[in-house]
Structure 1
Amino acid sequence: MSNLTKSTTVYTLNNGVKIPALGLGTWQSEKGKVGDAVRIALQAGYRHIDGAAIYGNEEEVGNGIVESKVPRDEIFLTTKLWNTKHKEVEKALDESLQRLKVDYVDLYLIHWPVAQDPKTEKEYPDWDYLDTYKELQKIYKNTKKIRAIGVSNFTPKQIERLLADKDVDVVPVVNQVEAHPLLQQPELLELLKKNNIRIEAYSPLGSTEGSIRDLEDVKKIANDLGITPAQVLISWNIQRGDVVLPKSVTPERIQSNLLTVELPKEVFDQLNDLEKKHGTNRTNVPPFFDFDAN
């Protein structure tokens, strides 16, 4: 039998802000359902909600927060700056705050290290993610709209370039990337640990391009432990030290995903070996970004 308990793990980010290790992801959550999902999650005990402007559901997320009746200061709320807004960071943030019905977000991320002209969707020749990050720094230092800043989908080279810039004096608190047993990214993980930057794992169960929880190895481990495949994978991320962001709009799954367990060492090791056994599987590869070229 399992020893499942509600996840209460909290990490302290490099600027002293505390972040719950387990959050509700809202990417690809169906419109008309995500507000209820947020409300149900918060009422079930989640205290961390991850969103983004491009998801197109910030208003619903904001409604869910209001309807949950959970005090704002008990909730860790994240949103992200989209590629075509890199030259108007504060305006984009203000629009997100308005849709979310809040005065501040706990974490604001550059969604992708790609600064695109909204008219052409081509990358600007005179502006890139370093310029954008410096704008985030200013807002972080001079306003109360953001409690922490970070990045998302940055490669090791991009993290190194960011940290090496003489005008960057606020280290990002997180890099939100796809992370699960088939995409462990040891080089990135090592670099982030060295600089006290936390990994946030999106698509921890896989995505529409490939479900990790359907792997026979994962299903067997789940069966042996008497828990769900999702609980196996979420527990693996937390045991690894990641923030993890499973997504669901199904009430039963939302509640069961909050339950985690300390995996026996041999099980944890077995999950760590899956990438060697099955190969690397990145499920989110957008047309505008080449992970290998950066």
Structure 2
Amino acid sequence: MAKVPTIKFNNGQSYPIFGIGTWKSKPGEVTQAVKDAIDIGYRHIDCAYAYCNEKEVGEAISAKIAEGVVKRDDLYVTSKLWNTFHRPDLVEKGLKATLSNLGLKYLDLYLIHWPFALKEDGDMFPVDADGKTAYSDVDYVDTWKAMEEVCKKGLTKSIGISNFNKRQIERLLENATIPPVTNQIECHPYLTQMKLTQFCKSKNIIITAYSPLGSPDRPWAKPDDPQLLDDPKIKKIADKYNKTPAQVVLKYQVQRGHITIPKSVTKSRIKQNFDIWDFQLAPEDIQLINTFDCNGRICPYADAFTHKDHPFTKDEY
């Protein structure tokens, strides 16, 4: 069984560079998917409160610990604070809800899922009287200070961010006593995130790449949207290495030093995605893939574009 390389965070914690994502994995399917992933050799599981499947992920973790396949210490579990828990007094409550769902005493990594806050104490996707997304004006810097507190309490070993842009990270770092260890962002050959990657690297913040396969199963995809894994240029590179297009785009992220978290609920694909440790992409192939960028963002969270803290509305990275 291949051993996944680890990457070192700015706080000294080592983290597997490759994990299984659980976004869009249905409750009825995700337990088996996570069990399969652990059997195959995955030790890093990426979760979020908003995925509404943490209980089922927790069942898989408990089962594999009970079977003696892994110990809790062997696993690296990430989850994310949802937008309706940004108010500082709700941060610990949000984390404890996740721990309860997962059946765990601590997380290895906890992220602020998005930099903008939504209306608290109600629905997960709150709307106002006009049916528009209902905002909260809680400042993500205040949320971060509460994240630092749950980290100090040992409820999570590391804290980080997700979907933050450069300006937001700079502002966070000016006010933080514990810097974020990672920024989890959408990243794939159609959205290479070169500038943000360079910036985060300069601040010793690791990039975690979500939707590295281009999220072909996203619910809002249109029939004529380009499909990353069908791209003939990627297929050509895959043929060269006798690998699949998925294996090539995953290796592309790993070789860039990005933590990579592909999602699948199909055992054969979970296994295939993991089978990327026996080849290296040549520098010229990485350079070629870099040229595929077309700012092809597929997770824009458009329902909150008018929020003051939305990360993608201005011409910035």
Superposed, 1:203-222 pairs within 5 Å as 203-207=211-215, 208=218, 209=221, 211-222=227-238
Cα distance, 1:124 vs. partner?
A: 2.4
Which of 241, 253, 257 in structure 1 is aligned with 2:269? Answer: 253
| Residue 200 (1) aligns with residue 208 (2) | yes
Letter in 1 for 2:290: N
Q: Secondary structure at the match of 1:266?
A: helix
| Residue 281 (1) aligns with residue 291 (2) | no
Taking the aligned partners of 1:186 and 1:228, their CA distance within structure 2 comes to 24
Corresponding residue for residue 292 of structure 1: 313
Corresponding residue for residue 254 of structure 2: 238
Corresponding residue for residue 177 of structure 1: 185
| Residue 98 (1) aligns with residue 104 (2) | no
Q: Secondary structure at the match of 2:155?
A: coil
Would the alpha carbon gap of residues 211 and 51 (structure 1) be closer, same or farther in structure 2, given more than 3 Å must change? farther
Which of 167, 172, 176 in structure 2 is aligned with 1:157? Answer: 167
Corresponding residue for residue 129 of structure 1: 140
CA contact (8 A) 1:7 1:22 kept: no
- Percent identity between the aligned chains? 42
Cα distance, 1:17 vs. partner?
A: 0.8
Cα deviation 1:124-152 (Å, max 9, x = unaligned): 23x211110100001111x1210000000
Letter in 2 for 1:135: A
Q: Is 170-179 or 202-211 further displaced after alignment? A: 202-211
Corresponding residue for residue 74 of structure 1: 74
CA contact (8 A) 1:44 1:255 kept: yes
Q: Is 173-182 or 206-215 further displaced after alignment? A: 206-215
Alignment length, in residue pairs?
Answer: 283
Cα deviation 1:57-95 (Å, max 9, x = unaligned): 000000111122321110000000100111200011111
Taking the aligned partners of 1:89 and 1:95, their CA distance within structure 2 comes to 10
Corresponding residue for residue 64 of structure 1: 60
Q: Is 9-18 or 182-191 further displaced after alignment? A: 182-191
Taking the aligned partners of 1:25 and 1:241, their CA distance within structure 2 comes to 18
Which of 152, 155, 173 in structure 2 is aligned with 1:145? Answer: 155
Cα distance, 1:7 vs. partner?
A: 5.6
Corresponding residue for residue 114 of structure 1: 116
Cα distance, 1:8 vs. partner?
A: 1.9
| Residue 35 (1) aligns with residue 35 (2) | no
Unmatched runs of 5 consecutive residues or more in structure 2? 123-127
Give the RMSD, CA atoms, in angstroms: 1.4
Letter in 2 for 1:218: I
Letter in 2 for 1:60: E
Unmatched runs of 5 consecutive residues or more in structure 1? none
| Residue 228 (1) aligns with residue 244 (2) | yes
